[in-house]
Amino acid sequence: MIGCLLLHGFTGSPYEVEPLAESLSKHDWKVVVPTLPGHGESKEDLRHITWKDWIQKAEEELKLLLSSCSVVYVVGFSMGGMIAAYLSTKYPVAKLVLLNACVYYVNPGQMFQNMAETIKSNFTANTGLLKRYMQKTLSTPVRAVVHFRRLIKVLKPELSNVTVPTLILQGECDDLVEPRSAHYIYEQIQSQVKEIHFLPQSKHLICHDCEKELVFDFVDRFLVTQQI
- Domain range annotation of the chain: 2-225
Query: What sign has the CA pseudo-torsion 110, 170, 32, 216?
Result: positive
Residue 39 has pLDDT above 70, yes or no: yes
Identify the band that residue 116 occupies on the pLDDT scale cut at 50, 70 and 90: low
pLDDT tens digits, residue range 151-169? 999 999 999 999 999 999 9
Greater model confidence, 119 or 182: 182
Percentage of the chain modeled with pLDDT above 90: 73
Q: By the 8 A CB rule, do 49 and 69 touch?
A: no
Q: Which of 210, 193, 191, 202 is nearest to 169 (CA)?
A: 202
Q: Which of 95, 84, 101, 107 has its CA nearest to residue 185?
A: 101
Q: Rounded to two decimals, what is the model's pTM?
A: 0.87
Q: Which fold has domain 2-225?
A: Rossmann fold (3.40.50)
Q: What stretches of 14-114 adopt beta strand conformation (E)?
A: 30-32, 71-77, 95-99
The dihedral formed by the CA atoms of 38, 10, 186 and 210, expressed in degrees to the nearest 10: 130
Dihedral sign, Cα of residue 46, residue 36, residue 183, residue 189: positive
**The pLDDT value given to residue 107:** 47
